[in-house]
Amino acid sequence: MTRLFAATSVLALGIASAAIAADSPSKADVLSTYSNIAEANYDDSLIAAKSLQAAVNALITDPSDATLNAARAAWIAARVPYQQTEVYRFGNAIVDDWEGKVNAWPLDEGLIDYVDSSYSGPTDENEFAALNVIANPSFELSGETIDAAEITPELLGETLHEADGIEANVATGYHAIEFLLWGQDLNGHGTGAGNRPWSDYAQGDACTGGNCDRRAQYLSAATDLLVSDLEWMAAQWAEGGAARVALTADEAAGVSAILTGMGSLSYGETAGERMRLGLMLNDPEEEHSCFADNTHNDHYYNGVGVQNVYLGTYTRIDGTPVDGASLSDLVIASDPSLDAEMKVKLANTMQALGVMKSTAEAGFAYDQMLERGNEGGELLIMGGVNGFIDQTKTIERIVTTLQLDQIDFEGSDSLDNPDAVFQ
């Protein structure tokens, strides 16, 4: 009985596919476009991080309002390509294992530098939440004395980052740099982002906040580390790079990885962890870029990234288009109406995120939207959340339609052990 049904469905599939087969791309071509976009997107992130590095060096050499603002602008620009790469994270173990170095969040910023007296200090969860390495050239960590006389990329990356196994001990990456450029946002749900004075980098008597030399050293080390980390990841996606090779080792698992990245970023990560949670807690610091108040852009460009990999198109930061055979083409070959549904839902999400972004840019910041009882803010954020959740349902339907059975993200079992998936 079962076999008879299976045979019938083979026939049905064969006929259905033959009718519209002409335009169907090969999985290999789809994976190639996906890898090309990753390569260009990480390369753009690297280029933008190098601009940030130049701006940071200018700030350190010649601290002033102008050089601080230029560094902040470079940081905001650097986020545009990077946030689009996040769709590569959950489907590709090599990215997921690495991304904590560059985009870990949320952080207990007292680990890094001085904080306001309202900051809670060491907590049950994290006894190093107020360590302040910039003010302390030597300290105890898990029973060991750490020599931090010189703040180097190695000290940040290998000793301080995730110290004591606590994820909130974020010593490296975009958000550590963000804190060093903006400082804490002490405005609560009110207007304004962090307001660190440029004089926090002034040398000699003009120095504010103490230890300006060490603060500059920290900022420089963290930025250098960001550049070298992005350099490494861009190389993994180049021709022959490890990420590209892993993706294409099993084509069905590779296509599954694309969908896994889209679904996990949309649902569990962005809609859940980053958007809905902050709203439920009404906490002004529970936003992805809480120092710079750039959260609306973080979510918006996550949405763009999901759309990029589905449509197989990406626009580089210099305007160059990258495109090719897409997942969308593959879905069209099986079920054109499902492809149309996916495109509409992606567009709906972008529309909702666009309204949130433009409203934030008009002056209603994300942390103001999070305020208890603020109905307009809740609607703006929930518009994005609902869009992400709704598009995840269609991503699941695509998994079913393409028969990419047993999608598993998280552990990336599908990549580590493809046999376990298709046994």
Partner 1 sequence: MRTLALALALILPLHAHAQNHGPILTSTVETHVLPGFAVLSQATEALTQAAQTDCSPGSARLQAAYHTAFDSWISVSHLRFGPTEVQDRAFSLAFWPDTKGFTPKALSGLIASEDASVETPAEFAETSVAGRGFFALEQMLFDPKFTDQGAAPYRCALIQAIATDIDNNAHAIDADWAIYAITLTRPGESGPYRSEDEAMQELYRALTTGLEFTGDTRLGRPMGTFDRPRPNRAEARRSDRSLRHVELSLIALRDLAAHLSADYPGIAADLDAAFAKAIASAQSLDDPALAGVATPQGRFRVEALQQSINDIRAIASAELGPTLGINAGFNSLDGD
Q: Which residues pair with 321 in a beta bridge?
A: 315
337 binds partner 1 (CB under 8 A): no
Number of residues that bind partner 1 (CB under 8 A): 58
Residues with Cβ within 8 Å of 177's Cβ and at least 6 positions away in sequence, in order, are 52, 56, 75, 219, 222, 223, 226
Per-residue binding string, partner 1, 236-255, x by CB under 8 A, is ----------------x---
276 binds partner 1 (CB under 8 A): yes
Nearest to 297 by CA among 167, 174, 189: 174
Nearest to 102 by CA among 86, 121, 119, 125: 86
Per-residue binding string, partner 1, 10-39, x by CB under 8 A, is x--xx-xxx--x--x---------------
282 binds partner 1 (CB under 8 A): yes
Contact assessment for residue 151 and residue 88, using Cβ atoms and an 8 Å cutoff: no
- Rounded to the nearest whole angstrom, what is the least distance from the CB of residue 104 to partner 1 in the complex? 9
Token pair for 243: 């990420």
The upper half-sphere exposure of residue 9, i.e. CA atoms within 13 Å in the direction of its Cβ, equals: 8
**Binder of partner 1 out of 97, 125, 158, 361 (CB under 8 A):** 125
Residues with Cβ within 8 Å of 154's Cβ and at least 6 positions away in sequence, in order, are none
Contact assessment for residue 301 and residue 80, using Cβ atoms and an 8 Å cutoff: yes
Per-residue binding string, partner 1, 356-395, x by CB under 8 A, is ----------------xx------------------xx-x
Per-residue binding string, partner 1, 141-180, x by CB under 8 A, is -----------------------xx-xx------------
Token pair for 185: 């946002």
Q: How far apart are CA 223 and CA 153, in angstroms?
A: 9
- Rounded to the nearest whole angstrom, what is the least distance from the CB of residue 403 to partner 1 in the complex? 5
Give contact residues for partner 1 (rule: CB under 8 A): 2, 5-6, 8-10, 13-14, 16-18, 21, 24, 90, 106, 120, 123-125, 164-165, 167-168, 252, 263-269, 272-273, 276, 280-283, 372-373, 392-393, 395-397, 399-400, 402-403, 405-410, 420, 422-423
